Structure 1
């Protein structure tokens, strides 16, 4: 594992070592889009997935701290008269959430740090008036910044060890890493992700 990836996992490992912490696994569906300013084409939500692990550390009463480590496939559909392609962004995300549970219902919120593991673009682009459209299937990691900072908020239900939840994460920083000569009209792209997940937790309340 690369050193920077290990740094993201360490908070979860430390949490799992707590005598009173719960741990669990989760997976689910993403609805992801890149939106912002100066994009010059339509961006649409694309369906993908996430999977990962979490720990829950009691603080006081119904309040806990919940660090997670998630692999999340994000990105967007880009559509215009000249382009029709999808961008796939592979992230290792580490949310650090305040988790408040009352009965079977919980709410949660907090920051999330993301590390870009890779990116690809595939679809079609207009090559020229004479040649028409051509296929696109290329690595795009150099087009996107390596880190992302987001705010996350969600809610859900817990019945025994089973968890059903929904969450929205909103990126705060521009992840576009392609600049023109003056930078004034650079696209500004921010991650937006809706997640629905199921999970299992282990350990007593």
Structure 2
């Protein structure tokens, strides 16, 4: 996984260099949830973070293409009378966005490809009426699919080299990888993430 991440980063920097594009760094806060069908538990947003790099490749006038490589901690809180635990999903995300900037204001949108680097569940589960609740501290990578595909849209402000923006990312595919015997009532889980970022870009407009 580390090799894959390094190759993506080097590819992004190579594209930026050959295209004489701007490059930059960004980081911020995630509000993440796993939403869907047949879950059987209440899901709630959990606060986490993201960090990464981007390149901005001019196309025509105010239009640019902005590929990014982001490490993003996602997941959800799961709550019911029988369970109280958090799921943490570690993703390497690669958004490829159309970016339109007019004055200090920009809007952006496009697809995002995600690679699951790891997953963990921590909290409590009801064991039985006699034993009550017990701790949950386990690796959960096998419970989730290794790839994710999403659509992202956002907007923000650029003040010189400084960037402040917000983005919403909606997963399109079911990331649950645990099936019951017939598959009819399997939970269908999709990533939903609200991101608020600050960034710093290098290079002129």
Same fold per superposition (TM over 0.5): yes
Q: Segments of 4+ in structure 1 off by > 4 A? A: 1-4
* Paired residue secondary structure (2:18): coil
Q: For residues 23-44 of structure 1, give each alpha carbon's deviation from its aligned partner in whole angstroms, at most 9, with x where no partner exists.
A: 0000000000000000001000
Question: Where does residue 104 of structure 1 map in the other structure?
Answer: 104
Tell me, which stretches of 5 or more residues in structure 2 are unaligned?
none
1:131-146 aligned at under 5 Å gives the runs: 131-146=131-146
Q: How far off is 1:19 after superposition?
A: 4.5
| Cα pair 2:19 2:57 within 8 Å, conserved | no
Q: How far off is 1:6 after superposition?
A: 5.0
Q: How far off is 1:2 after superposition?
A: 5.0
- Distance in 2 (CA, whole Å) between partners of 1:96 and 1:80 is 37
Question: Where does residue 114 of structure 2 map in the other structure?
Answer: 114
Across the aligned residues of Structure 1 and Structure 2, the Cα RMSD in angstroms comes to: 1.2
Question: Where does residue 60 of structure 1 map in the other structure?
Answer: 60
- Distance in 2 (CA, whole Å) between partners of 1:83 and 1:163 is 40
Residue correspondences, number: 205
- Distance in 2 (CA, whole Å) between partners of 1:34 and 1:5 is 24
Q: How far off is 1:14 after superposition?
A: 3.1
* Paired residue secondary structure (2:15): helix
Return 72-81 or 17-26, whichever deviates more. 17-26
* 1:43 aligned onto 2:43: yes
1:51-200 aligned at under 5 Å gives the runs: 51-200=51-200
Q: How far off is 1:100 after superposition?
A: 0.1
- Distance in 1 (CA, whole Å) between partners of 2:2 and 2:104 is 38
| Cα pair 1:106 1:157 within 8 Å, conserved | yes
Return 169-178 or 19-28, whichever deviates more. 19-28
- Distance in 1 (CA, whole Å) between partners of 2:93 and 2:11 is 12
| Cα pair 2:50 2:72 within 8 Å, conserved | yes
* Paired residue secondary structure (1:183): coil
* Paired residue secondary structure (1:145): coil
- Distance in 2 (CA, whole Å) between partners of 1:91 and 1:81 is 29
Return 183-192 or 5-14, whichever deviates more. 5-14
Q: How far off is 1:17 after superposition?
A: 1.6
Q: How far off is 1:4 after superposition?
A: 4.3
Q: How far off is 1:151 after superposition?
A: 0.2
* Paired residue secondary structure (1:17): helix
- Distance in 2 (CA, whole Å) between partners of 1:174 and 1:11 is 28
- Distance in 2 (CA, whole Å) between partners of 1:10 and 1:177 is 31
Q: TM-score, normalised by structure 1?
A: 0.97
